[in-house]
Chain A
Amino acid sequence: MSSKTQNNKAWWLVAPVFIMVAFNALVPLMTVVNYSVQETFGDNVFTWAGVHWFQDVLHSERFHSALLRQLLFSGIVLAIEIPLGLGVALTMPRKGPWVSVCLVLMSLPLLIPWNVVGSMWNIMALPDIGLLAKVINGLGIDYNYTRQPVAAWFTIVLMDVWHWTSLVALLCYAGLVSIPDAYYQAAKVDGAKTWAVFRFIQLPKLKHVLTIAVLLRFMDSFMIYTEVSVLTGGGPGSATTFLSIDLVKIALGQFDLGPAAAMSLIYFMIILFLSWLFYTLMMKNEDA
């Protein structure tokens, strides 16, 4: 850090980014703030509502359960994807023609538009003609994701694991490739077991990429909207109505601007706070 020179003229280099992001972020954000403290009866007539909407949202059962579902979803998804991605990265070949094949095939799910991901799993899970539904039914388990909350959750989690584990795997793989061969040779000379190599060589080196993986996966799973909205639309009932889905329902479906805006801000604050928490905790570990 100390090698950087102090130079306030650097602002000129940052200015274009600042202006563009400010335009896209601050104007809409201020609009949201504006709505969140006002009451409207249509016709563009607004009256001051103070923190009324915030109180409403914070005390609403609906918000609490949506938030809870969202947290649960992020938790499950992280608990599966991080270890799985790490495992895949550790067992992937490091050299040879299969590396490229592996990398390309693994990246493929990441580049599919999110609603197409939803449609794909829709086709997979359709009763009678879907492969997934057929296989699960074949095992003698009753499965219908449009009617059973558990089945809906299972399908969504499976979809997300399918969709995003590759990101974790690619990040970890990149971290592993950057470890010099000399480290492994030294470990070999010392007669280190696979576990020791992982614990004392690979894991410390992976800390940085794992931080990024956890952060990205947390943020994105917390914001998940399109895939779920295509696959289940938040149903059955409200079993898979996550925060974002509820928000869009309120804002664009019912046009309840005040509550939607208040909810947006609370939602954003939660993400910001949790991400900051993750970030500082992991960075602290790294310094230690």
Chain B
Amino acid sequence: MKNLSRYVPVLYVTFLMIPIYWLLNMSFKTTNEILGGFTLYPHNFTLASYQTILTDPSWYSGYINSIEYVVINTVISVAVALPAAYAFSRYRFLGDKHLFFWLLSNRMAPPAVFALPVFQLYSQIGLFDTPWAVALSHTLFNIPLAVWILEGFMSGVPKELDETAYVDGYSFPRFFFRIFIPTIAAGIGVACFFCFMFSWVELLLAKTLTSVAAKPIAAIMTKTASASGYQLGLLAAAGALTLIPGAVVIYFVRNYIAKGFALGRV
């Protein structure tokens, strides 16, 4: 039993890696080889697909667009969530519980419900097809999430810290930026990670709110896949490249992921 259980994570991780391997495998094959039949590894190893993507602006601009709105979204979400989470963790105020559940309920709103009205809204205020439109629309589910995570972290910080600081003559802003924010730095990191993650992976709103100038890479992929027949190699290479930002972000927060999950309640 003990020996057997050791293999569970190994098997699970292997299961996770198989589709990723298959994606990489496809991305290094020539179109002829892909259509020619089933091969477990690329026999004619080629970087042609990657070359196409990295030299063609209509491809690589998609990555820049995506990263742009993801970063804007993460900054906005965490910045406005910080004071709100502080308020929720420290004070009782009129309608606080209702407000908290209302915020969370927006995390539950299916993007499919909002796609059309959000499109009309952002067209009306002239932000359509800009990274700002996508970034702002993604705050719908990222702000509630950030508030939730940060509130969890902040509740773990004893109230005595605040009180001591005020006794020592700190003003609220000075206390907040000098003492409180460094104290919950790990929580902020985790909140950023989650905002990044959910903004990076969302496509429905991002696709609805952009047409040419701010098109995310994911939308370019779906279009290419259907427009030019089936260029599987290209599609696989583009997919493989979307793994990189995620992998980088995970690497940075790897030490906080587990701790973060426990402290922040998510």
Q: Do A and B bind each other?
A: yes
Give residues in A with beta carbon < 8 Å to B: 3-11, 13-14, 16-18, 20-21, 24-25, 27-29, 31-32, 84, 87-88, 90-93, 99-100, 102-116, 119-121, 123-124, 128-131, 134, 162, 165-166, 169-171, 173-175, 177-178, 194, 208-209, 212, 216, 219, 222-223, 225-226, 230, 243-244, 247-248, 251-252, 257, 260, 264-265, 267-268, 271-272, 275-276
Main SS at interface, chain B:
helix
Picked from A106, A209, A252, the residue with its CB within 8 Å of the CB of B262 is A209
Give residues in B with beta carbon < 8 Å to A: 1, 5-6, 8-9, 12-13, 15-20, 22-23, 26, 34-35, 37-38, 76, 80-81, 83-84, 86-88, 90-94, 96, 99, 101, 103, 105-118, 120-121, 136-137, 139-140, 143-144, 147, 159, 197, 200-204, 208, 217-218, 221-222, 225, 232, 235-236, 239, 242-243, 245-247, 249-251, 254-255, 257-262, 265-266
A91:B5 contact, CB within 8 angstroms:
yes
Q: How far is the CA of A8 from the CA of B54 in the complex (A)?
A: 54
Closest-by-CB residue of A relative to B116 is A251
Closest Cβ–Cβ distance, residue A217 to chain B (whole Å): 12
Closest-by-CB residue of A relative to B217 is A113
Closest Cβ–Cβ distance, residue B83 to chain A (whole Å): 4
Point out the residues of chain A lying under 8 angstroms from B203, CB to CB: 113-115, 226
Give the 3 A-B residue pairs with the shortest CB-CB distance, closest first: A111-B246, A174-B261, A28-B117
Q: How far is the CA of A181 from the CA of B250 in the complex (A)?
A: 27
Question: Residue among B15, B86, B250 with the most chain A CB within 10 A?
Answer: B250
Closest Cβ–Cβ distance, residue B30 to chain A (whole Å): 13
A14-B84, A113-B218, A128-B37 known; A20+B236 contact, CB < 8 A? no
B103:A24 contact, CB within 8 angstroms:
no
Question: Residue among B115, B232, B247 with the most chain A CB within 10 A?
Answer: B115
Closest-by-CB residue of A relative to B206 is A113
Closest Cβ–Cβ distance, residue B197 to chain A (whole Å): 5
Picked from B91, B144, B208, B222, the residue with its CB within 8 Å of the CB of A5 is B91
B117:A32 contact, CB within 8 angstroms:
yes
Closest-by-CB residue of A relative to B145 is A216
B251:A24 contact, CB within 8 angstroms:
no
Point out the residues of chain A lying under 8 angstroms from B94, CB to CB: 8, 11
Point out the residues of chain A lying under 8 angstroms from B88, CB to CB: 14
Closest Cβ–Cβ distance, residue A57 to chain B (whole Å): 13
Closest Cβ–Cβ distance, residue A177 to chain B (whole Å): 5
Q: How far is the CA of A209 from the CA of B152 in the complex (A)?
A: 12
B91:A6 contact, CB within 8 angstroms:
yes
Q: How far is the CA of A169 from the CA of B84 in the complex (A)?
A: 29
Picked from A21, A110, A120, A225, the residue with its CB within 8 Å of the CB of B144 is A21
A13-B83, A21-B140, A267-B110 known; A248+B258 contact, CB < 8 A? no
Picked from A112, A166, A260, the residue with its CB within 8 Å of the CB of B201 is A112
A17-B84, A104-B254, A267-B110 known; A120+B23 contact, CB < 8 A? yes
Closest Cβ–Cβ distance, residue B192 to chain A (whole Å): 13
A28-B121, A114-B202, A208-B265 known; A21+B106 contact, CB < 8 A? yes
Q: How far is the CA of A219 from the CA of B110 in the complex (A)?
A: 9
A20-B80, A24-B140, A275-B108 known; A170+B257 contact, CB < 8 A? yes
Closest Cβ–Cβ distance, residue B28 to chain A (whole Å): 13
Enumerate 8 A-B pairs (CB-CB under 8 Å) in ascending A order: A5-B90, A13-B87, A20-B143, A88-B9, A111-B201, A111-B249, A113-B218, A129-B38
